[in-house]
Structure 1
Amino acid sequence: MTQVLAIILVFGLLVFFHELGHLLLAKRAGILCREFAIGMGPKIFSFIKGETRYTLRLLPIGGFVRMAGEDPEQVVIERGQDMGLEFDKEGRVVRIISTDFANHPQAHMLTVENADLEKELVIRGIEDGERVSYPVHPQAMFLHKHQEIQIAPLDRQFGSKTIGQRAAAIFAGPFFNFILAFVLLTVMGLSYGVPVNKPVMGEVIASSAASQAGLKPGDEVLDINGTPITSWADMVKIVSSSPGKELTFTVRRGQETIQKKVVPASDPQSKTGKIGVYQPLSRSLTGAASYGAKTTYDFSKLIYTSLLKLFTGAVPVKDLSGPVGIFNYTAKAAENGMAILLQWTAALSVNLGIINLLPLPALDGGRLLFLLIEAVRGRPVDPNKEGMVHFLGFAFLMLLILVVTWNDIQKFF
């Protein structure tokens, strides 16, 4: 049960931050965001705050932010259609009712001649035999079959924004995954400490070679057998290459300089020398933030290198893992403690950010590529053609997921 909960929390966190990036930058650009969803499929729970419906869906395999203008507009009014209108104190239409008129007896009935809900924000028609024209509130609601939909004037739609604003709203999703990784790794550094590359004794294991020689936590190693030591790595290099050999450690303990004879034990697996001392740890905010930034960069570099090997054929497709494999590894990470789970979640978050930035159809990177083409051409690509490219890209991704899922089933079952 703990493993299942860990999987749900990890994937929920990754998707939440990714979609939060899209949502915040889209709202900042003035785009109407109709829905913020975690998960796919049927709704489990939802609520409305402001202009946006926040939804939790059944399948934990992704999420989305539904922005006005990305899909065909849901509010369609045809000539000759009977509509009920409700007004605010300034005489602007705030609710347009297309069905169930009996439950809205206060509405003014109108036979529509034309309605412009994107530019002019006006409805014209026949009311009681006379032609009338009413201004429409930019946040008016359209009521159809018990479902309310907010209208989307042109300046609230995704396509009306500048290329920079649209690119920022798209890029923010992957970027927030990098932020999440940095935050998780910084929290990990603060909670568990960050290794410090100083030649200082951290925790000394009881009954180890260091303990038997009289070395203590906080001892600063100045030299070993006369060789100056300036970093933890220097000390490890000498100790690991000297199993069973007596070494003379010159250490500073407080104001005193002393020498200790240490014989490193031989590790039964690696055959290298070990003296039983942990690297010193720092729990400072600056150290933790530095660790978070460096490790996020290291994860990014490793994933990019792996992707390059995949595209060049150095890594076969059969070595890829899909949802089943990731679920399995997440469960194992949860078994190994919170530190490992935090590190694994950060790695997954970086991976999600990088994958989404690939210039492939149906991914954020593919959408950014179309914006780049629009910037170069001076006009957007035909929406139908772009939609077809994204559809084919999505189909390819689904096929790839099926392939890697089959790989996972063969590996783990």
Structure 2
Amino acid sequence: METVISFIIIFGVLVFVHEWGHLIFAKRAGILCREFAIGFGPKVFSFKKNETVYTIRLLPIGGFVRMAGEDPEMIDVKAGYHVGLLFNEQGEVNKVVINNKDKYPDAKIIEVEHADLEHEMIIKGYELSDEETLTLYKVSDESYFIVDGQEVQIAPYKRQFASKTLWQRTMAIFAGPMMNFVLAFIIFAFLGIVHGYPVNEAKLGDLTPDGPALAAGFQKDDTVIAINDTTVSTWEEIVAIIQASPSEELLFHIERNGQSMNIPVTPKADEVDGETRGIIGVYMPMEKSIVTAIPRAGVETYTWTKEIIIGVGKLVTGQFSIDMLSGPVGIYKSTEVVAESGIFLLMRWAAVLSINLGIINLLPIPALDGGRLMFFAVEAVRGKPIDRHKEGLVHLIGFALLMLLMLVVTWNDIQRFFL
């Protein structure tokens, strides 16, 4: 049960942060965001705040932000339609009733002659009681269709994705992966402040409850001056002497709170890869400092980013096979193993997954953020966007292939872990 909860939290946070990046930068650009979704498939839970419906969907395989203009508008008012018009205090149309007009007795019913609800924001039509007089109605920029009693906000072209500058559109798409890297950096920094980063000093870190060190009387933060008259100045030197001395008594000369003392301890013999080594049950010392944590978080984010990119490169060049990929099932099983090692390691795992999600989404594959950015790069070079229908078809095919890949990877995971 703990694994299920851990997986749901990690998945939810990573997808939420990714989609939140899209949402924030899209809203800053003035784009109407109709839906913010975690997951795909049927809705499990939803609520609306301001212009956006926030939903949790059944299938935990990603998320999306539905921006106005990215897909064809669901409702198109054409000549010959009978619609009801409701007006605001300024005399502009603020609601267009598409059906069940009898439920809105205050609505003015007209037969549409012409409607432009993207650029001009007007409707021309004849009242049913006066079919001779053509009237032009100004539609408010903040107006709604009413369909089956539900309100759907009308998106003027200036609120649509395609109306924004290339830079605004690029940032709205790039912000998702970017926020995954930001999340990883924040997690690494938090771990550095709360848990600390290992330092190569001749000091003792945490002691295991059943180790020889605790039984001998050692304490955390003891500074080791020498072992058997051999002066040491780093953690690596301490480890080397202990590992080379299984079942042999060692005399530690230490300093504790300004006082010097000698403590004997006999390392326990431990078998590692067919080799007997000594251990005393002490962890590497950790340093907890904001000054240290922030730059170390940057270095760790960079290091993991580089390693994952190298791994993706090997996959592309055929050095890794598709059987080595993991989908949701594989990530769940890995999370199960990591969760057994404690909350700090689980958080570090979440940071690595966040970087991985950011990198994968930046690959120039249709339907991924990187694929969209690739089209923007082409637009920047040629000076005009690629036809929306052609681009949409490419992304649709890419999405179908990604779903197929997801099925193959998931089946491989099931065979590997359960069959």
Is TM > 0.5 for Structure 1 vs Structure 2? Answer: yes
- Which residue of 1 is the match for residue 171 of structure 2? 168
Alignment of structure 1 residues 141-156 onto 2, 5 Å: 141-156=144-159
The DSSP-based 3-state class of the residue aligned with 1:78 is coil
- Give the C-alpha shift of residue 215 in structure 1: 4.3
Measure, in 2, the Cα distance between the counterparts of 1:208 and 1:38. 46
Q: Cα gap change, 1:277/1:74 in structure 2, threshold over 3 Å: closer, same or farther?
A: same
The DSSP-based 3-state class of the residue aligned with 2:31 is coil
- Which residue of 1 is the match for residue 53 of structure 2? 53
Measure, in 2, the Cα distance between the counterparts of 1:108 and 1:206. 80
Q: Cα gap change, 1:204/1:325 in structure 2, threshold over 3 Å: closer, same or farther?
A: closer
Question: What one-letter code is carried by the residue in structure 2 that aligns with 1:9?
Answer: I
The DSSP-based 3-state class of the residue aligned with 1:268 is strand
Q: How many residues align?
A: 413
Question: What one-letter code is carried by the residue in structure 2 that aligns with 1:392?
Answer: I
Alignment of structure 1 residues 114-153 onto 2, 5 Å: 114-127=114-127, 128=130, 129-153=132-156
Q: Cα gap change, 1:277/1:68 in structure 2, threshold over 3 Å: closer, same or farther?
A: same
Deviations 1:131-154 (A, max 9, x none): 211211111001123332111111
Measure, in 1, the Cα distance between the counterparts of 2:80 and 2:414. 57
Between the aligned residues of both structures, percent identity stands at 50
- Which residue of 2 is the match for residue 279 of structure 1? 284
Measure, in 2, the Cα distance between the counterparts of 1:252 and 1:196. 18
- Which residue of 2 is the match for residue 304 of structure 1? 309
- Which residue of 1 is the match for residue 408 of structure 2? 403
Deviating more after overlay: 104-113 vs 330-339: 330-339
- Give the C-alpha shift of residue 258 in structure 1: 5.1
Alignment of structure 1 residues 356-371 onto 2, 5 Å: 356-371=361-376
Q: Cα gap change, 1:74/1:205 in structure 2, threshold over 3 Å: closer, same or farther?
A: closer
Measure, in 2, the Cα distance between the counterparts of 1:204 and 1:336. 16
Q: Which runs of 4+ in 1 moved over 6 A?
A: none
Measure, in 1, the Cα distance between the counterparts of 2:399 and 2:313. 21
The DSSP-based 3-state class of the residue aligned with 1:266 is strand
- Which residue of 2 is the match for residue 28 of structure 1? 28
Measure, in 2, the Cα distance between the counterparts of 1:208 and 1:327. 32
Measure, in 1, the Cα distance between the counterparts of 2:230 and 2:306. 35
Q: Cα gap change, 1:211/1:65 in structure 2, threshold over 3 Å: closer, same or farther?
A: closer
The DSSP-based 3-state class of the residue aligned with 1:73 is coil
Alignment of structure 1 residues 244-393 onto 2, 5 Å: 249-257=252-260, 264-269=267-272, 270-393=275-398
Question: What one-letter code is carried by the residue in structure 2 that aligns with 1:358?
Answer: L
Deviations 1:353-373 (A, max 9, x none): 111011111110110111011
Q: Cα gap change, 1:165/1:234 in structure 2, threshold over 3 Å: closer, same or farther?
A: farther
Q: Cα gap change, 1:205/1:86 in structure 2, threshold over 3 Å: closer, same or farther?
A: closer
Is 1:10 the counterpart of 2:13? The answer is no
Q: RMSD between aligned alpha carbons?
A: 2.4
- Give TM-score, length-normalised by structure 1: 0.91
Measure, in 1, the Cα distance between the counterparts of 2:68 and 2:61. 23
Q: Cα gap change, 1:265/1:327 in structure 2, threshold over 3 Å: closer, same or farther?
A: closer
Measure, in 1, the Cα distance between the counterparts of 2:53 and 2:116. 25
The DSSP-based 3-state class of the residue aligned with 1:120 is coil
Q: Cα gap change, 1:38/1:205 in structure 2, threshold over 3 Å: closer, same or farther?
A: closer
Deviations 1:109-131 (A, max 9, x none): 22222111111212222232312
Measure, in 2, the Cα distance between the counterparts of 1:356 and 1:319. 19
- Which residue of 2 is the match for residue 185 of structure 1? 188
List alignment gaps of at least 5 residues for structure 2.
none
Is 1:232 the counterpart of 2:244? The answer is no
Measure, in 1, the Cα distance between the counterparts of 2:216 and 2:53. 66
Question: What one-letter code is carried by the residue in structure 2 that aligns with 1:29?
Answer: A
